[in-house]
Chain A
Amino acid sequence: MTMQNLQIAISGIAQEYLSESGDFGAVAADFRREKTRKRQRAVSVLCLAAVCAGVIGAGIIRQPGAVMRASAPDSEPAFTAETEAAADLTEPVPSLYDAADVLPFEEWMLSRAIGVVEGEVTESGRSGLGGIGIPMYFYKLRVERVLCGDLTVGEEVTVKAALHSETFECVKPGRRYVVPLVSNEGENRDYGTTRGGYRAVYPFEPMIERVSGGYIVPRGWDSLITDGCTDVTGDPAYHYKDYVGRMYCVPDEIFEVRMQQLIEEYIG
């Protein structure tokens, strides 16, 4: 295939598709409807997770509204133009069931981050039990680069996470990672009431690992995984216990530009 062939084909795109793309209002409304559908699906997953965890019976949910939604999913209003207009699409999900704690990583979760740092893991281990008896682990990260946030190079931060599997690992001591951080202050279903330190934005996938010439990223980082990346799934060098998702190597130059765009978009 040549550039000339491609130019000819593109210039022959059917008129109806050109007109369709120019109806900005209709396409934008379609995107909004799709976003609402995704959000409703996410809420359903959160409710299901809550039910499965048995926390309703244990009285851990303190928001009556959340209980109502969990116990009566059929009462969700059907989607209409009115509900679309009324929906606040930027509204965060309930704090006790933060979606990032129960869903696979997606880039919008970065909006929770207070900073993104790159550094070397110096130590990791078990760290007692969390809010509802879930085992916790921690790792210490010596900051070597601050991509954003109020952190300083040379400082050592402690990152805590719930151990959802006995053998799951998301970092390995002695290696360098890029970690989006969330403050560990406050209350959370898994973590209980905590003060100080940090949590990673997402718990179910490996952190971004710094390697020579690039970065190893797990699925979910759609903006970073471009055509210039290499699929390294199955490479034992990048295998993490209990993680079966795909992994990609993103070259330095793509990572730097795209990560900065993500930070500007979601963290500011």
Chain B
Amino acid sequence: MPTGQRIAALRMQAGLTQEQLAQRLFVTRATVSKWERELGQPDYPMIERIAAVLSVPPDAILSRQDAVLGELLRALADADSDDLLADLNAFLSTLNSRDRSVFVRRYYYLEDHGTIAQRYGITESNVRTVLMRTRRKFKKYLKEMSV
């Protein structure tokens, strides 16, 4: 079942309206509506907050692996590769050790931003920035390889 439908089902099971769930999450009703209609997806910290409000484990909404890899998959949405494994390792070889290590901790070990930041003595903001730039570089790399 898609994530949005799961949120909707669990919300109704908890006897909450979209408005009530939105209020408890400090977001607008329109945001909840977007999630439920699959027009947008909450990130994992938000999924954990939704799960807490609905009194269910986060995995009942989305598994951690699907959530983390989902952010990479969305970034690569219109890119393609005949041999993704080879392309991924070739791309990683082009990165410096810092960016490559952050990427590996996030997508191989599925660690959250805070944990990575703590391990490497940097801020969570640094981690998010490195990941965002690396995802964009990877997409660009795949596009160039496919030409």
Asked whether, in the complex, the Cβ of B75 is within 8 Å of the Cβ of A227, the reply is: yes
Asked whether, in the complex, the Cβ of A27 is within 8 Å of the Cβ of B70, the reply is: no
B68-115: which have CB < 8 Å to A? 69-77, 79-81, 84-85, 87-89, 92, 96-98, 100-102, 104-105, 107-109
Contact (A257, B46) CB under 8 Å given A6-B69, A227-B74, A227-B75: yes
A140–B84 Cα gap in the complex (Å)? Answer: 54
CB contacts (< 8 Å) of A28 on chain B: these are: 119-122
Asked whether, in the complex, the Cβ of B108 is within 8 Å of the Cβ of A262, the reply is: no
A253–B7 Cα gap in the complex (Å)? Answer: 15
Contact (A265, B123) CB under 8 Å given A3-B73, A213-B30, A253-B46: yes
Asked whether, in the complex, the Cβ of B92 is within 8 Å of the Cβ of A14, the reply is: yes
**Stretch in A17-25, A93-101, A130-138 with 4+ CB within 8 Å of B:** A17-25
The B interface is mostly helix, strand or loop, or mixed, namely: helix
Residue from A1, A20, A228 within 8 A of B100 (CB atoms): A20
| Distance between A206 CB and nearest chain B CB, rounded to angstroms | 20
B35-84: which have CB < 8 Å to A? 35, 40, 42-43, 45-46, 65-66, 69-77, 79-81, 84
Residue from A222, A227, A253, A261 within 8 A of B27 (CB atoms): A253
Asked whether, in the complex, the Cβ of A1 is within 8 Å of the Cβ of B79, the reply is: yes
Using an 8 Å CB-CB cutoff, how does the interface string of B12-31 with A read, 1 for contact, 0 for none?
A: 00000000000000111011
A13-68: which have CB < 8 Å to B? 13-14, 17-18, 20-21, 24, 26-28, 30-32, 34
Asked whether, in the complex, the Cβ of B98 is within 8 Å of the Cβ of A31, the reply is: yes
Residue from B98, B101, B132 within 8 A of A226 (CB atoms): B132
Chain B CB within 8 A of A81 CB: no
Q: How large is the interface on B (under 10, 10 to 19, 20 to 34, 35 or more residues)?
A: 35 or more
- Among residues of A, the one whose C-beta sits closest to the C-beta of B127 is A223
Residue from B46, B89, B100, B128 within 8 A of A21 (CB atoms): B100
Asked whether, in the complex, the Cβ of A222 is within 8 Å of the Cβ of B129, the reply is: yes
Using an 8 Å CB-CB cutoff, how does the interface string of A134-162 with B read, 1 for contact, 0 for none?
A: 00000000000000000000000000000
A1–B70 Cα gap in the complex (Å)? Answer: 11
Residue from B76, B125, B129 within 8 A of A1 (CB atoms): B76
Residue from A3, A9, A253, A258 within 8 A of B42 (CB atoms): A253
| Distance between B77 CB and nearest chain A CB, rounded to angstroms | 8
Contact (A223, B125) CB under 8 Å given A13-B108, A18-B108: yes
A13–B86 Cα gap in the complex (Å)? Answer: 9
Asked whether, in the complex, the Cβ of B120 is within 8 Å of the Cβ of A27, the reply is: yes
Asked whether, in the complex, the Cβ of B125 is within 8 Å of the Cβ of A222, the reply is: yes
- Among residues of B, the one whose C-beta sits closest to the C-beta of A257 is B46
Asked whether, in the complex, the Cβ of A27 is within 8 Å of the Cβ of B101, the reply is: yes
| Distance between B115 CB and nearest chain A CB, rounded to angstroms | 11
| Distance between A104 CB and nearest chain B CB, rounded to angstroms | 15
| Distance between B130 CB and nearest chain A CB, rounded to angstroms | 9
CB contacts (< 8 Å) of A262 on chain B: these are: 125
Asked whether, in the complex, the Cβ of A21 is within 8 Å of the Cβ of B105, the reply is: yes
- Among residues of B, the one whose C-beta sits closest to the C-beta of A224 is B128
| Distance between A20 CB and nearest chain B CB, rounded to angstroms | 6
- A interface with B by C-beta (< 8 Å): 1, 3, 5-14, 17-18, 20-21, 24, 26-28, 30-32, 34, 107-108, 213, 222-223, 225-228, 251-254, 256-258, 261-262, 265-266
- B interface with A by C-beta (< 8 Å): 26-28, 30-31, 34-35, 40, 42-43, 45-46, 65-66, 69-77, 79-81, 84-85, 87-89, 92, 96-98, 100-102, 104-105, 107-109, 119-126, 128-129, 132, 135
Q: List 11 A-B contacts (CB under 8 A).
A: A1-B73, A1-B84, A3-B70, A6-B72, A7-B69, A10-B108, A18-B104, A31-B98, A227-B71, A253-B27, A256-B27
